[in-house]
């Protein structure tokens, strides 16, 4: 499910644009957009792991890539 969170789109590039933009842009769709209601008996992270990841349920976990490289 985590692989489906990223979308790509190509912006319109005008022939008169002095600074052409990045050709392909990516954005993240949060996992709560895919789950319309909370199903019963969802798997849960351990308490320590839930605090590190910011959610109790793995289905709602959405990692963001680090800008530090």
pLDDT tens per residue, range 27-44: 888 887 878 787 889 999
pLDDT of residue 3: 57
pLDDT band at 1, cuts 50/70/90? very low
Q: What is the pTM of this model?
A: 0.57
Q: How many angstroms separate the CA atoms of 63 and 47, rounded?
A: 18
Task: Identify the CA nearest to 1 among candidates 57, 53, 48, 41.
Answer: 57
What mean pLDDT do residues 42-63 have? 91
**pLDDT tens for each residue of 12-23:** 888 888 887 778
pLDDT of residue 39: 83
């Amino acid at each position: 499910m985590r692989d489906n969170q990223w979308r790509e789109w190509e912006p319109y590039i005008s022939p008169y644009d002095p600074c052409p933009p990045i050709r392909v842009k990516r954005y993240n769709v949060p996992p709560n957009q895919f789950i319309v209601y909370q199903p019963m008996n969802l798997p849960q992270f351990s308490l320590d792991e839930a605090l590190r990841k910011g959610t109790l349920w793995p289905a709602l976990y959405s990692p963001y890539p680090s800008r530090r490289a």
